[in-house]
A and B are shown apart, each in its own frame.
Chain A
Amino acid sequence: MRIEAWRIYQALSLIAALTLLAWPLPDSYAPWQPQWVAMILIFWMSVRPEKAGFGMAWAAGLLSDLVTGSWIGIHVLSYCLIVFLCLRFYRVLQLSSTLQKTFPVGFLLVLHMGYLHLFSIFLSNIDPGLLYWASLPTSLLVWPILHHLMKKIPVGETPMI
């Protein structure tokens, strides 16, 4: 069995995102850290929607939970939802340019963060406050750059249908 090259890039980019997620930042910078894993997931869903599906969501989710030390399964829920929406509305992601993609990506990230926010209030009674949303603008600023750089690697994009 031959492993396709893009699979390796996919795994590497996921590991890189997880490494950034685990990066211990000072308290004042931590809320501004972009949602790396979610963005990498959305990127792969936009270029290989038929291949990078729920399997990637599960891998990204389980590893995110372990790395951040939260209860296992929490990130999985959110990532599965993202993957579902990406698959259901794949044309929106596929047919738009890098900049246009920012809008659906922003929407998915709001969903992801809102969901984690709900969980943190529900399970551990923590209200992180308004600063919690600080990672949204930084994510949206980073997204075009990330997308542009990721496009440089041979991702073997699925032709538009």
Chain B
Amino acid sequence: MLWRKLISSLILAIVLVSVDYRYAVVDRAAPLVDLVVQPIVTASSLPQQFFDWIYTHYRGVEELIEENRVLRQQLLEDVFWAQSVGALEAENRRLRTLAQLDVPAHSQRVLVAEVTKINTSAFRQTITINRGTRDGTYVGQPVLDERGVVGQISSTSLFQSTVLLVTDVSHALLVRNARTDDRYLAHGNGQGLTLRFVPRHNDLEPGDVLLTSGLDDTYPEQHLVGRITQVTAQPGRDFLEADVQAEAQLHRNREVLLVWHRKPAEEAGDAD
């Protein structure tokens, strides 16, 4: 009797795992799942919220004034840089037109989203955010934070979306080495990213900064992805392997930035 129960349970569970692994059933039923899981997740975030509340409540006025001052300064600097970027872009556009190159169309809208859940599973690196199709999100939408690339939306429902992080094993993106302009494919490995199959004698050093290349249809160009921490050359193998540490604060984010980014060709094809 006991054996029979065990074996039927195991078989049923294995069927569940394989069906979900193959067809992503849970991701598709996200709104239903949230109904069950949300109370637990909300409860688990209560201690953090409590400490946050205490912290904001009992902070001195001077401290807030000081913080305000620093933020104002930061804003001023950022506005300055943003203005110069605008000028550079206009100049770039003019030069590209003179050189008869394609003018990159910039139609980027951004929206701040709050992280509502961080999945702690060892198998998949995802977070859940509080923006959904109601806000116009779409599958494959890039997600950034103030430091760099976070990931892309892998499933979206009316009110929230799941973001696949760049460190997930099923995620890969095209990156560009800022120092040498070489391009690589960066795979997630669960903890960071890996560049595999880099030809030997390729100029690659620890500390190199990797940016998005803009060649995939997903990510906008020139955003920070990570830094190379280690380059390993195993004897007897034809390729180098490099470990990359993601620059974005993948597991500590409270807020992330959604970017509406489409290739010009796609945008022309969209009849909206």
A110 within 8 Å of B by Cβ? no
How far is B122's CA from A119's CA once the two chains are assembled, in angstroms?
A: 10
User: Cα distance A16–B89 when bound, in Å?
Assistant: 54
Residue numbers in B under 8 Å from A54 (CB-CB) = 5-6, 9
Smallest CB–CB gap between A91 and chain B, Å?
14
A87 and B2 within 8 A (CB): yes
Across the interface, do B17 and A22 meet the contact criterion of CB distance under 8 Å?
no
Chain B residue nearest to A31 in the complex (CB):
B122
Q: Return A21 CB to nearest CB of chain B, in Å.
A: 7
If A84-B6, A87-B2, A120-B122 touch, does A66 touch B26 (CB 8 Å cutoff)? yes
A124, B16: Cβ atoms closer than 8 Å:
no
**Would A67 and B17 count as touching, CB distance under 8 A?**
no
Is A136 close to B, CB under 8 A?
no
Name the interface residues of B17-63: CB closer than 8 Å to any CB of A: 17, 20-21, 25-26, 33, 36-37, 40-41, 43-45, 47-48
Interface residues on B, range: 35 or more
Residues of chain B within 8 A of A125, CB atoms compared: 169, 189-190
Q: Is the CB of A26 within 8 A of B252?
A: yes
Complex Cα–Cα for A7 and B47 (A): 27
Chain B residues, CB < 8 A from A27: 251-252
Q: B215 at interface (Cβ–Cβ under 8 A)?
A: no
Q: Verify if A20 is at the interface (C-beta below 8 Å from B).
A: yes
CA distance A22 to B122 in the complex (A): 13
Whether A22 lies near B41 (C-beta < 8 A) is yes
B residues near A65, Cβ cutoff 8 Å: 26
Q: Are A80 and B36 in contact (CB under 8 A)?
A: no
- With A70-B123, A71-B26 known as contacts, the answer to whether A77 contacts B36 (CB < 8 A) is no
Closest-CB distance, B166 to chain A (whole angstroms) = 14
Q: Say yes or no: A76-B40 contact (C-beta < 8 A), given A124-B123, A126-B189, A128-B190.
A: no
| A123 CB-CB contact with B under 8 Å | yes
Taking a contact as CB atoms under 8 Å apart, the answer to whether B41 and A73 are in contact is no
CA distance A22 to B37 in the complex (A): 10
Chain B residue with minimal CB distance to A117?
B122
B147: interface (CB < 8 Å): no
The reply to whether B122 and A67 contact each other, CB–CB distance below 8 Å, is no
B160 sits at the interface (CB 8 A) = no
Q: 1/0 per position for B103-129, CB-CB distance to A under 8 A? A: 000000000000001111111101000
Q: Tell me, yes or no, whether B14 is within 8 Å of chain A by CB.
A: yes
**Nearest CB in chain A: distance from B43 CB, A:** 5
Choose, from A55-63, A92-100, A139-147, the stretch at the interface: A55-63
Q: Is B10 an interface residue, CB under 8 A from the partner?
A: yes
Q: Nearest-CB distance from A107 to chain B (Å)? A: 18
- B37: chain A residues within 8 A (beta carbon): 22, 63, 66-67
The listed residue (B16, B33, B44, B124) touching A73 by CB distance below 8 A is B16
Q: How far is the CA of A27 from the CA of B246 in the complex (A)?
A: 13
A84 proximity list for chain B (CB < 8 A): 2, 5-6
Instruction: Give A119 to B20 CA distance when docked, in angstroms.
Output: 14
Contact of A68 among B6, B14, B120 (CB under 8 A): B120
* Residue of A whose beta carbon sits closest to that of B21: A71
Q: Is A111 an interface residue (CB 8 A)?
A: no
Find out whether the CB atom of A76 lies under 8 angstroms from the CB atom of B16.
Answer: yes
Is residue A150 within 8 Å, beta carbon to beta carbon, of the partner chain?
no
A-B contact pairs, 12 of them (CB 8 A): A22-B41, A23-B47, A26-B251, A67-B41, A71-B17, A73-B14, A88-B2, A123-B123, A124-B122, A124-B123, A126-B190, A132-B122
Chain A residues near B (Cβ < 8 Å): 15, 18-27, 30, 53-54, 57-58, 61, 63, 65-74, 76-77, 80-81, 84, 87-88, 116, 119-120, 123-128, 132
Given contacts A67-B41, A77-B14, 4 further A-B pairs with CB under 8 A are A22-B43, A54-B5, A68-B119, A71-B26
